[in-house]
Structure formats: structure tokens, C-alpha cells
Homo-oligomer: A and B are copies of this chain.
Amino acid sequence: MKHYRHRYISQAAAKIDVDFDYDGPLMKTEVPGPRSRELMKKLNGIQNAEAVHFFCNYEESRGNYLVDVDGNRMLDLYSQISSIPIGYSHPSLIKLLQQPQNLSTFINRPALGILPPENFTEKLKESLLSVAPKGLSQVMTMSCGSCSNENAFKAIFMWYRNKERGHNNVTKEELESCMINQPPGCPDYAMLSFMGGFHGRTLGCLATTHSKAIHKLDIPSLDWPIAPFPRLKYPLEDFVKENQQEEARCLEEVEDLIVKYRKKKKIVAGIIVEPIQSEGGDNHASDDFFRKLRDIARKHGCAFLVDEVQTGGGCTGKFWAHEHWGLDDPADVVTFSKKMMTGGFFHKEEFRPNAPYRIFNTWLGDPSKNLMLAEVIKVIKTEDLLNNATHAGKALLTGLLDLQARYPHLISRVRGRGTFCSFDTPNDATRNKLITIARNKGVVLGGCGDRSIRFRPTLIFKDHHAHLFLNIFSDILANFK
């Protein structure tokens, strides 16, 4: 029986092809084990620790393998909510940290907006700007994803208002009214977002986040328009006509909302969208949908903001997922964080604030993260990791489609781009049970939406890791009760 399953899923045995990786999972206890449970109890004394999965031994974690405090070694397909670019304890990063000339960058954190280090521009060029989406020549760094989106909104609002006032001088009334949160200084502008989208958890971001009630409950918000995001049928190529209709319906609603909100004097200054809705359940749309959405934004004078906090950094096989769309006119603003190690956003030159201190805070990111990112990008280029993501992603997706064919009662709607793959389970309980069983078999998976499992491996996730996972998961599905 076991042999039969493996024959159809994956022949390849696990092997080591990066010298710092392990050769497979190694489980000693259930997870969380006794030491994790003990530590969870302690942490719970000082904060709500109910979300903690287990405690980790990062010193022992290597490559695609996460080691926990009970000595369990797991293949990590979730990579800290998609935020570990080139695996744990990468030798290049260890070397970087050991170089004496880099010490200062880690211990003397500057206020970048007023007193940057000598190599600031150079490091930005070596890191972020070397992978900037086409047409976006400007970059601002921030500390995290939420601040990246918040400040992108601000840059968009300033751009819109500047356009509206015809680049004339600001009025005294505007300067005075903004100090008390009132228009015209604080205009009634809005960002249009999509149901199911996730863009962060600060108040501005939350007004555009609509993935789970627990994120939003009890927090005051803003009356900003929310459009439906297409609910497509998978595989996309089998449902072209139905999916086109669904996408057309959503695009029509986007336009209707812009018009409707303008009628009630609430101006849609920008549209924010994820290339693949992640937290909301790994919802895809066609490249054509996004091209048309970009056209709508241009037609109505709204900025087009692509949130690549989770999709960015190479996991879809291109550095930015929106590069798959083949846009004529680039996005106006693109936000990033997670795998990029620093938060921030790229933007077109016309979105540049017209005065200092408008997009500003004390730290504006952290040069030690830029330093590490420059090294990470070097590794991505040297080791051709974008092509690797395409290749390994194909092995993973093919295997998942095969599992779907064999276990349709457990796996449906398999979808993916690069390693950014996912599938649906029948319900929340089954999903969580599968994640728990997988973890105890040595594989870390993550959930999203109300019943999906999402794959978010590192960029050094190779074919053989995919096969290793598929073999383990195939066993799990065969024995699932």
C-alpha cells in the first residue's frame, strides 16, 4: 500500500543539495512537546500566547528545516508567515554578521530621514532598487508591512490632493482645519479595497482589510468602499467563461463604487489590491482582471496600489507577483515587507512628497535590514532562485493536483503560482486537523481563509523538498479518518 502511494506521487528521495540544510524531518515528541508547553505557559503569564504553535530553537534551524525546543526537526512550508527568504541560518548571512565592518550597522540604529549612514543610498541601490518593479524609481523604507501600507496611503492622498488643488499653494483654512482632523485640511478621501483582502492591522490598514472578523471586531473604522473580489473556479483553464463573467461583475462593481462614493463626496483616491489574496484564502484572479483594474484606476484618476507584502520577493517565480500581469502602465505604488526583511514601498516619481517630513518617522526602517537584504538578493541572483521557485512550484502543484484527483473529498480547488500554492479542505475542522497531523509527521503548514492550506516555503525550497512533502502528505491523506 505504501509503495503504491509513493509510486504515483513522488519517486525522488530526499537529498541534500545545500550544505547547510538537513536531509529530512526528525520527530521526537508530539508538537507542541513538553518543553514548548512549559514555555507557552510562561509566556501566557505576560501576554495572550494562545496563537503560539510551539517554541523554536533557531540556533539549530537550518535551510528549510525548523527545529523546535523539544528537538523536533520539521520541514517548514510556512516560513514564519512567508517571511524567511533564503532559509534559516544561511551561511551568507552568518558571514555578513561576522564581518567587523558591519558591526556598527547593527548597534547604531540611526534616524534615517535626517542622519543616514554614508552607504545608505548605495545599499538601497544594491538591495531594493536592484529589484524595483519597472517604472518605479523611488523607494521609502519602513519598519513593517502595516506602516508600509499606511504610508503608501498617505503618499497617495497627498498626490491626489495636490492634483486636485492644481499644485497651488495650500490655504490657511487647510492648514488650520487639518490640525483638528477636519476638512478641507483632512479631506474625505478613501482607499477602495476588496472583500477578502488583508493589508495590515493598524487603523488605516484595517479599514482596507476584510479577511477575518477577529482582526476588525471592536475597532472603529472609516466608511471606505469595499468591492467584491472574484471567486473563481479552479483549475482556471477549465472555467474560463464562468471566471471571466465573475471578474467582469467585480470590475463593474469597482466602477460603480467609485461613482457612488464620489456622489456622497467621498473621493476614492486609490485602489489597493493583493496579486493573490493571501490571508483571505489564497484567492487568485486572472492577469486580465488586474490589467482591467489598472485601467479603471487610470480612467477614474485613482492611484493603483499593489500590496506585495506577502506575494513579493520571488515566491511566484518573478520578483514581484504583479510582473506576471504584463501591465502597459506600471502600478503607481508597490508595498513590501516580510521576505524583503524591511518594510517599505516603491512609487512613481509623481507620488514623491513635495516637502520634507511629510512621509517620515524616527527610524524609517533599519539599515541593518537593508544590509541583510542586499546579501539575500545577491544569493537569489547567484543561485537563480526565481527559476527555482517556478520549478519547485511546478513539482508541488503537480503533486497537489494528483492528490486532489485521488482524495477529492479532502482536497479541492488546488491553485498556485510558483511555490505560492494552496488548496481547500472541506471545512475549518478538517483543515486544522490536517495541519496538526502534518506537524506531527514533521511538516509545518499554514492555514488561510476559512478552510484553505497555503504553502509559503522559502526560496531555497527545491523539487526534492516538494517530493518529500508530497510523500508524507500522501500517507496522511490515505490514513485520514
Contacts and interface: CB of A to CB of B under 8 A. Distances in A.
A186 B338 contact: no
Interface in A78-133: 80-81, 83-84, 88-90, 93-94, 96-98, 101, 103-111, 113-118, 120-121, 124-125, 129
A99 B460 CA distance: 27
B111 A81 contact: yes
A217 B55 contact: no
A11 interface: no
Interface string A347-381: 00000111111111111000010001000000000
A259 interface: no
Nearest to A161: B218
Contacts of A362: 80-81, 83, 144-145, 337-338
Given A147-B143, A147-B144, A361-B145, A110 B56 contact: yes
A66 interface: yes
B107 A356 contact: no
A43 B139 CA distance: 10
B109 A157 contact: no
A178 B118 contact: no
Interface in A178-198: 178-182, 185-190, 195
Interface stretch (A207-215, A285-293, A425-433, A461-469): A207-215
A104 B80 contact: no
A110 B150 contact: no
Interface stretch (A219-227, A242-250, A413-421, A472-480): A219-227
Nearest to A352: B48
Nearest to A80: B111
Interface stretch (A2-10, A57-65, A231-239, A298-306): A57-65
Nearest to A113: B51
Given A107-B372, A362-B145, A58 B170 contact: no
Contact of A181 (B47, B170, B226): B226
Contacts of A118: 35, 39, 55-57, 69
A116 B117 CA distance: 31
Interface residues of A, number: 128
A96 B239 CA distance: 58
A137 interface: yes
Contacts of A204: 202-204
Contacts of A356: 48-51
A150 B204 CA distance: 10
A355 B49 CA distance: 9
Given A52-B115, A178-B217, A190-B220, A107 B120 contact: no
A131 to B, nearest CB: 14
A216 interface: yes
A157 B117 contact: no
Given A97-B103, A179-B216, A210-B179, A56 B117 contact: yes
Nearest to A210: B179
A262 interface: no
A138 to B, nearest CB: 6
A330 to B, nearest CB: 16
A357 B215 contact: yes
26 contacts: A35-B118, A46-B129, A47-B138, A50-B355, A51-B113, A55-B117, A55-B118, A56-B115, A80-B114, A81-B114, A81-B362, A83-B109, A88-B108, A94-B103, A94-B107, A144-B361, A147-B147, A150-B203, A154-B218, A161-B218, A176-B213, A179-B195, A180-B226, A181-B224, A182-B221, A189-B218
